[in-house]
Amino acid sequence: MIITEALNIEHRVFTNLFDQVEDLLPTLTTLAEVKLLATLIERSLHSHADVEQNLAFAALDHALKDKGRIDRLYEDHEEIDAALKQAQRARNLAEGRRLLKTAIGASRAHFLREEKDIFPLLEQVLQPDTLQALGHARVQ
């Protein structure tokens, strides 16, 4: 499996998780529940972001002269992480729900940007054996 396939699969898993959390948000009755979901998503996305940055984006960084698109993805990761941490520090239920929903929306937009712009670029720029090796490294 190549790296872009592995990352796309992870995106689908996260998208399903986001759907479930968004369905649950209106039914939650305590701030602690929102904070728990924000923590779960933040920790899960952290692992995914590390793989993207340390495997896929790092490989692409070396192949591109114009790094504007890659820089934007690094910024996305920081913004999403900050939004999830804000949700974990929310002071009331409404604020927590809003911040978590915002972080999920930012994550969805980020995934789309990667899938439409970056993953095809990875497949164009990197050799098939490199894509395969990165995918293998992700699966392990």
pLDDT in tens, 69-124: 777 888 988 999 999 999 999 999 999 999 999 999 999 999 999 999 889 988 99
Its pTM stands at: 0.90
| Predicted local confidence at residue 68, as pLDDT | 67
* Of the candidates 106, 118, 98, the residue with the CA atom closest to the CA atom of residue 52: 118
Residues 18-71: pLDDT tens digits? 999 999 999 999 999 999 999 999 999 998 888 888 877 777 776 665 566 777
pLDDT band with cut points at 50, 70 and 90 for residue 139: low
- CA 82 from centre of chain: 13
CATH number at residue 133: 1.20.120.520
Q: Which range marks the domain in which residue 123 is found?
A: 3-139
- Whether the predicted pLDDT of 17 surpasses 80: yes
Domains: count for the chain: 1
Three-point CA angle 103, 121, 16, nearest 5°: 35
